[in-house]
A and B are shown apart, each in its own frame.
Chain A
Amino acid sequence: MSDNAKPSLQQKSLPFGRSLYSHALQSCMLLCIGITVALVFFLILYILIRAIPYFSWEILTTKPSYLRGTIGVLPDILNTIYLVFTALVIVLPLGVGAAIYLNEYAKSQKLVKVIEYAVETLAGIPSIIYGLVGMLFFCQFLSLQTSLLAGSLTLVIMSIPVIIRTTQESLKTVPNGYREGAFGLGSARWHMIRTVVLPCCIDGIVTGCILAAGRMLGESAALLFTAGFAHALHGYIDGITSSGATLTVALYVYAKEQGEFEVAFVIAAILLVLCFITNYLAQAYGRHMKKIKQ
């Protein structure tokens, strides 16, 4: 081999063809990143710019009045809180219980596989289908009428997969040695789960819960059918049993049916902030638990 066939270590740049190719690809990827970031910021800025001029303390703290011609979103905020709270209270024991059964009790691996497959499929079903089924089953068959309760129950079915999945993942991270240790001291299965396994994976469960709450906040299709459109101001008990629009549904109604785009953008901004808060909480909680464990 002659010397000039070897690439020189002094030569700074690649051959022209390869360097062009490399630069072209790098630029492509930069462009992709640029477009993604620009889209996100455009969306956020656009919503905020459209919303801020109409933002007032009054709109946040009153209900709409046709007599005075004013608009307020307080009922929608409260409805959203009632709905998410109710759904979480119901879905947590169901989902966590199912995950514990699958991971700690179930003996037949075949059954577990079938259930896991069903849960995964449940997670992939478009939410409008949940709405349709929820309307027929909860509103009509169980005669709950169009109400926040019917909406919550529909959301419960929708978010069961998220809770089961996240709980199962964190149960699987608990070392088997802990279980053996507890059994070896004569503890019964449920006692072992309650005192050793669950304390280890409480952080996974909480994170799953926050994620599920985030999805509920953003859900609209399933609620159009089940939770209704009213903007009345209620306490919890009255609120949950009567028809009520959540923020997302109210946004749809104001923008699409009444042409009130200003209110729609105010609601969009509120949802955006709530979305930030839930994501931040999930991350902050994760970091906090990591610190405690160390």
Chain B
Amino acid sequence: METIFDVENFNLWYGDNHALHNINMKIEKNAITALIGPSGCGKSTFIKTLNRMNDLIPSVKLSGSIRYRGQEIVNSDINVYNLRKEVGMVFQKPNPFPMSVYDNIAYGPRTHGIKNKSQLNDIVEKSLRDAAIFDELKDRLKDSALGLSGGQQQRLCIARALAVKPDVLLMDEPTSALDPISTSKIEELVLDLKKEYSIVIVTHNMQQAVRISDYTAFFLLGDLVEFDKTDKIFSKPSDKRTEDYITGRFG
């Protein structure tokens, strides 16, 4: 397998608070990597460094190395706008823009300079199809995205992220605000997207990690306790703390 993110001795501080300690992991291409762990363990913080969204918080300091396809992204002067185009993100709370469905999807391509109408139409249709929501929304392209249900909004956000043709999709607890039916639709979608994209997903739901992920990383209090194949983590964890967490002894 090919590695897409290579993380070595990575540390992160919020001001004086050392939030991530010496993280080492290799994230595989075209696989789903789940990050699990109790609240406040640093998994959301970690996922946000992969597309440098942490740049937006002024007090954050980083050390160590994360290479995306061989290019260093920690403390380097790469073009973050292109990085975020390559490494798209879906957030915990669905956050469609207050515009029409069409304009939401076209936002990313337009940002990166695509103005041609028919090209945009193609992108919008393909993105909606890829996010398995085209049939539901094809007659509502001109309606406000804020009128959609929560689950539809989240799939719209996934479609919006796909519209800039990313390489990796980061998902920060994408189903925690959704009902079970919407959740299962998104899980199916994520499994389907694996063929073309590498996916890193933060989840609070361990069944979800088991159902969809190939690899699982267990974070605890800023440490990466264990990182292995999902089957292995959930059947024969090598660390006692992992076992305690997945069997529900704390968390």
A-side residues, CB < 8 A to B, are 107, 175, 177-178, 180-188, 191, 195-196, 199-200, 293
Interchain CB contact under 8 A, B85 and A186: yes
Interchain CB contact under 8 A, A107 and B58: yes
| B residues near A181, Cβ cutoff 8 Å | 91, 95-97, 157, 160
Q: Which one of A184, A188, A200 lies within 8 Å of B98 (CB-CB)?
A: A200
In the bound complex, CA of A272 to CA of B51 (Å): 57
In the bound complex, CA of A175 to CA of B98 (Å): 10
Q: Is B53 an interface residue (CB 8 A)?
A: yes
| B residues near A293, Cβ cutoff 8 Å | 98
Q: Which one of B56, B58, B98, B160 lies within 8 Å of A183 (CB-CB)?
A: B56
In the bound complex, CA of A187 to CA of B85 (Å): 9
Given known pairs A175-B95, A177-B93, the reply for A183 and B84 (CB within 8 Å) is yes
B-side residues, CB < 8 A to A, are 51, 53, 56, 58, 80-85, 88-89, 91, 93, 95-99, 107-108, 111-112, 157, 160-161, 164
In the bound complex, CA of A107 to CA of B57 (Å): 9
Of all chain A residues, which has the CB nearest B52?
A: A183
Q: Which one of B53, B58, B88, B111 lies within 8 Å of A191 (CB-CB)?
A: B111
In the bound complex, CA of A187 to CA of B163 (Å): 14
In the bound complex, CA of A280 to CA of B51 (Å): 48
Interchain CB contact under 8 A, B111 and A184: no
In the bound complex, CA of A200 to CA of B80 (Å): 25
Give the shortest distance, in Å, between B243 (CB) and chain A (any CB): 35
Interchain CB contact under 8 A, A178 and B160: no
9 cross-chain pairs, A with B, having the tightest CB-CB distances, nearest first: A177-B95, A186-B85, A184-B89, A186-B84, A185-B108, A186-B81, A187-B111, A181-B95, A107-B58
Given known pairs A180-B95, A196-B97, the reply for A185 and B56 (CB within 8 Å) is no
Give the shortest distance, in Å, between B58 (CB) and chain A (any CB): 5
Interchain CB contact under 8 A, A185 and B95: no
Given known pairs A175-B95, A178-B98, A195-B107, the reply for A184 and B161 (CB within 8 Å) is yes
In the bound complex, CA of A203 to CA of B93 (Å): 25
| B residues near A107, Cβ cutoff 8 Å | 58
Of all chain A residues, which has the CB nearest B81?
A: A186
In the bound complex, CA of A175 to CA of B164 (Å): 23
Interchain CB contact under 8 A, A185 and B91: no
In the bound complex, CA of A286 to CA of B111 (Å): 30
| B residues near A178, Cβ cutoff 8 Å | 95, 97-98
Interchain CB contact under 8 A, B81 and A187: yes
Give the shortest distance, in Å, between A179 (CB) and chain B (any CB): 8
Among A181, A185, A191, A196, the most chain B Cβ lie within 10 Å of the Cβ of A185
Additional 13 contacts, C-beta under 8 A, given A186-B82, A187-B81: A107-B58, A178-B95, A181-B91, A181-B96, A184-B84, A184-B88, A185-B84, A185-B160, A186-B80, A186-B83, A186-B85, A187-B107, A191-B111
Q: Which one of A175, A177, A185, A200 lies within 8 Å of B111 (CB-CB)?
A: A185
21 contacting pairs across A/B (C-beta < 8 A): A180-B53, A180-B56, A180-B91, A181-B91, A181-B96, A181-B97, A183-B53, A183-B56, A183-B84, A184-B51, A184-B91, A185-B84, A185-B161, A185-B164, A186-B80, A186-B81, A186-B85, A186-B112, A195-B107, A199-B98, A199-B99
